């Protein structure tokens, strides 16, 4: 009967890793250059799209009212916005709004381009703590984005004003005030590029990091499979085979 061999913890030796890197340095260089050059070529062939951004800020229409004739109600003033942010976003992306956007105007922008801009490149947000809405329109052509922003404001104004006045008409509140739609910061023709897709500088940095990562790991992966292959073809141990 064979005595059991004591189990010894293997020590990690840094020189073993350095030996693998030195012996397979050509593999590291080849993997690094292959990933870097192929990625750079793909990066250069990818068309660059430059966007201009037109911004505007408007004050939402709203109704301020005191709910009821009771004396203590005078200390409570309620505000009802004409149209909320969520509803406004739904409205400007609806088919009916897009159809009306350039109706009775001389602007010749293809309907398909208008749909693409409004659905993908128009963002409406609310400035926290206020009733101000910020409209942002991105476009490859700065004039197109500027015109779209102007037309959105023109078409959304009567919608929110009517919603604010109709709210009071449907409810008999005696003491109320109505604040109509007003443009705080009108859209201006953009004069500089605000967004570039894809960001090729960032892509190049990430590509270099990825190439370095795979190049460093490549020799260790190759070493692992090579040792595994040698273990499979190694002749069987006579003692472990039971012949001694």
Do residues 157 and 219 share a domain?
no
Q: What is the average pLDDT score of the chain?
A: 81
Do residues 33 and 63 share a domain?
no
Which pLDDT score, from 0 to 100, does residue 238 have?
46
User: Is residue 106 situated within a structural domain?
Assistant: yes
* pLDDT-wise least confident of 58-67, 139-148, 171-180: 171-180
User: Is residue 192 situated within a structural domain?
Assistant: yes
Do residues 40 and 130 share a domain?
no
Which pLDDT score, from 0 to 100, does residue 92 have?
93
Q: Which residue has the tokens 């910020």?
A: 134
Query: Could you tell me the two tokens for 242?
Result: 């039971």
Do residues 62 and 152 share a domain?
yes
Query: Could you tell me the two tokens for 213?
Result: 């990562």
Do residues 152 and 91 share a domain?
yes
Q: What is the pLDDT of residues 67-112, one digit of tens each?
A: 655 555 555 677 888 899 999 999 999 988 988 887 766 677 787 8
User: Is residue 144 situated within a structural domain?
Assistant: yes
Other C-beta atoms lying within 10 Å of the C-beta of residue 177 = 12
User: Is residue 243 situated within a structural domain?
Assistant: no
Do residues 144 and 61 share a domain?
yes
Do residues 146 and 60 share a domain?
yes
Q: What is the pLDDT of residues 144-163, one digit of tens each?
A: 899 999 999 999 999 999 98
pLDDT class of 1 with cuts at 50, 70, 90 = very low
| Domain count of the fold of the chain | 2
Instruction: Check residues 176 and 52 and name the one with the higher pLDDT.
Output: 52
Which pLDDT score, from 0 to 100, does residue 116 have?
87
pLDDT class of 244 with cuts at 50, 70, 90 = very low
Predicted confidence (pLDDT) at residue 9 exceeds the cutoff of 70: no
Which pLDDT score, from 0 to 100, does residue 4 have?
47
Q: How far apart are CA 48 and CA 228, in angstroms?
A: 46
User: Is residue 123 situated within a structural domain?
Assistant: yes
Do residues 152 and 222 share a domain?
no
User: Is residue 1 situated within a structural domain?
Assistant: no
DSSP the chain: -PPPPPP-PPPP-HHHHHHHHHHTHHHHHHHHHHHHHHHHHHHHHSPPEEEEEEEEEEEPPEEEE--SS-GGGGG--EEEESS-HHHHHHHHTSHHHHHHHTTTS-----HHHHHHHHHHSEEEEE-TTSSEEEEEEEESSHHHHHHHHHHHHHHHHHHHHHHHHHHHHHS--SSEEEEPPEEEE------S--EEES-HHHHHHHHHHHHHHHHHHHHHHHHHHHHHHHHHHSPPPTTTTT--
User: Is residue 228 situated within a structural domain?
Assistant: yes
Which pLDDT score, from 0 to 100, does residue 110 have?
80
User: Is residue 240 situated within a structural domain?
Assistant: no
Mean pLDDT of 160-176: 77
Query: Could you tell me the two tokens for 139?
Result: 């476009």
User: What percentage of the chain reaches a pLDDT higher than 90?
Assistant: 27
Residue 18's domain spans which residues? 14-47+199-233
* CATH number for position 137: 3.30.1890
CB 139 within 8 A of CB 121: yes
Do residues 64 and 128 share a domain?
yes
Torsion angles phi and psi, residue 6, rounded to 5: -65, 145
Do residues 140 and 87 share a domain?
yes
Q: What is the pLDDT of residues 19-63, one digit of tens each?
A: 788 888 888 888 889 988 888 888 778 778 888 999 999 999 988
User: What percentage of the chain reaches a pLDDT higher than 70?
Assistant: 81
Do residues 73 and 36 share a domain?
no
Predicted confidence (pLDDT) at residue 7 exceeds the cutoff of 60: no
Maximum Cα–Cα distance across the chain? 108
Do residues 104 and 171 share a domain?
yes
């Amino acid at each position: 009967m064979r005595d059991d061999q004591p189990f010894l913890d293997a020590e990690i030796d840094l020189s073993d890793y350095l030996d693998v890197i030195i012996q397979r340095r050509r593999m590291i260089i080849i993997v690094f250059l292959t990933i870097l050059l192929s990625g750079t070529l793909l990066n250069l062939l990818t068309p660059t799209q430059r966007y201009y951004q037109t911004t505007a800020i408007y004050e939402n229409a709203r109704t301020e009212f005191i709910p009821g004739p009771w004396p203590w109600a005078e200390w409570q003033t309620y505000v009802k916005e004409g149209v909320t942010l969520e509803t406004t976003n739904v409205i400007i992306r609806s088919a009916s709004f897009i159809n009306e956007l350039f109706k009775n105007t001389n602007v010749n922008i293809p309907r398909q381009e208008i749909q693409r801009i409004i659905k993908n490149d128009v963002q409406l947000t609310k400035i926290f703590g206020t009733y101000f809405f910020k409209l942002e329109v991105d476009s490859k052509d700065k004039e197109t984005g500027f015109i779209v922003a102007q037309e959105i404001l023109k078409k959304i104004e009567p919608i929110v004003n009517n919603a604010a006045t109709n709210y009071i008409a449907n409810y008999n509140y005696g003491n109320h005030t109505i604040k109509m739609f007003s443009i705080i910061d009108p859209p201006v023709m953009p004069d500089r590029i605000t967004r570039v897709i894809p960001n090729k500088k960032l892509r190049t940095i990430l590509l270099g990091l990825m190439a370095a990562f795979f190049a460093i790991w490549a020799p260790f992966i190759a070493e692992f499979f090579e040792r595994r292959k040698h273990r499979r073809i190694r002749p069987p141990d006579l003692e472990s085979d039971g012949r001694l």
